[in-house]
Amino acid sequence: MFKKLSPALIVASVLVLVLSSFMFSMVSAQDGTLDPNTPVSNVGGVLPMPEAATDMSVAAAFKGAGRLAPQSARLAGPNSVAAPIESAHPESVIGVDSRVQVTGTTTYPNRAIAYLYVTWANNATGSCTGWFNGPRTVVTAGHCVYNTDAGAAHGWAKSIRVYAGRNGVSSPYGYTTAHKLFSVTGWTGHAYTANDYGVIQTNAATGNTVGWFGYAWQASNTFSGYHTVRGYPGDKPSATMWTMSGPITGVTATRLWYNMDTFGGQSGSPLYKYLSGNGYTGYGIHTYGTSVSPNFGNSATRITQAVFNNFAAWKASPYP
- Which of 114, 102, 107, 94 has its CA nearest to residue 242? 102
pLDDT digits (tens, 9 = 90+) for 222-256: 999 999 999 999 999 999 999 999 999 999 999 99
- Which of 206, 203, 189 has its CA nearest to residue 159? 203
Give the residue with greater pLDDT, 1 vs 275.
Answer: 275
- Whole-angstrom distance, CA of residue 301 vs CA of residue 103: 27
- Whole-angstrom distance, CA of residue 106 vs CA of residue 125: 26
- Whole-angstrom distance, CA of residue 155 vs CA of residue 8: 42
- Taking residues 214-227, report their average pLDDT: 97
pLDDT at site 54: 61
pLDDT digits (tens, 9 = 90+) for 286-301: 999 987 778 789 999 9
- Whole-angstrom distance, CA of residue 60 vs CA of residue 282: 10
pLDDT digits (tens, 9 = 90+) for 153-201: 999 999 999 999 999 999 999 999 999 999 999 999 999 999 999 999 9
- Which of 51, 58, 133 has its CA nearest to residue 310? 51
| Bridge partners (DSSP) listed for residue 129 | 115
Domain boundaries, the chain: 39-46+57-315
Catalytic residues: 143, 267
pTM of the model: 0.89
- Whole-angstrom distance, CA of residue 40 vs CA of residue 310: 10
Provide DSSP, the chain: -PPPPPHHHHHHHHHHHHHHHHHHHHHHHHHT-S-TT-EEETTTEE-PPPPP-TT-SEE--B----PPPPGGG-B--TT---PBPP-SS-----SS---EEE--TTSTTGGGEEEEEEE-TTS-EEEEEEEESSSSEEEE-GGGTEE-SSSTT-EE-SEEEEEET-BTTB-TT--EEEEEEEEEHHHHTT--GGG--EEEEESS-THHHH-B-EEE--S-S---SEEEEEE--TTSSTT-EEEEEEEEEEE-SSEEEE-----TT-TT-EEEEEETTTEEEEEEEEEE-TTSSS-SSEEEEE--HHHHHHHHHHHT----
Split at pLDDT 50, 70, 90, the class of 33 is: confident
User: N- to C-terminal Cα distance for the chain?
Assistant: 58
- Whole-angstrom distance, CA of residue 227 vs CA of residue 260: 9
Is 21 a residue whose pLDDT tops 70?
Answer: no
Residue 82 to residues 16, 118, 237, 276, Cα–Cα distance (Å): 50, 8, 12, 37
pLDDT digits (tens, 9 = 90+) for 58-89: 999 999 999 999 998 999 887 789 999 877 77
One CATH from 1.10.3720.10, 1.20.120.1200, 3.10.50.40, 2.40.10.10 for 39-46+57-315: 2.40.10.10
| Bridge partners (DSSP) listed for residue 53 | none
